[in-house]
Structure 1
């Protein structure tokens, strides 16, 4: 899994400090093929969750008709309602085996 924050146009941020207006775009790539190195088979991706400062803000199921194999997603995050200061976005990727812990990525940014 890969996750990155971008500006409203989806371009990479030049700084992790952002103004208190507008939006960020969270780009997420889920890649089930990574499990192939360990198991010899492509593991499915059940979905992903996005949390902002611990609160769930988005959930995307990718296995509605069977195991998903990942893909690229863009999630818009409004900045205007956030308090000035540091914030954390956590992205969790859930595999098809519910006994496994989700993979996660943490992204930090500061609203000024």
Structure 2
């Protein structure tokens, strides 16, 4: 199995894999930070702005309840948006890498002598 391990290392060193990782990180990091800030805001407001969170909006529905429900909504929206982003930006690259891996050699900039051109 060392030959197949070498194929995976070639893929890992390829420009296509680097691009895939870049696109994934470009989405994941800002989205994660935004969600953590949103969640921390909810927790901090719940702990230190009790009067604001207790404001009744409609009947017994207050700001805290709405913010709590919006946590669920934002989670589902992030999952939905990531699914669309992955289908458009990540999956085609991953499919190309998979096909390249299945079909044989992977062309890397490190293994070519003419600047990455075959």
Tell which has more relative contact order, 1 or 2 (C-alpha 8 A, sep 6+).
2
| TM-score, scaled to structure 1 | 0.21
TM-score, normalised relative to structure 2: 0.21
**Which structure carries more strand by proportion?**
1
**Which of structures 1 and 2 has the bigger CA Rg?**
2
Bigger fraction of residues in helix: 2
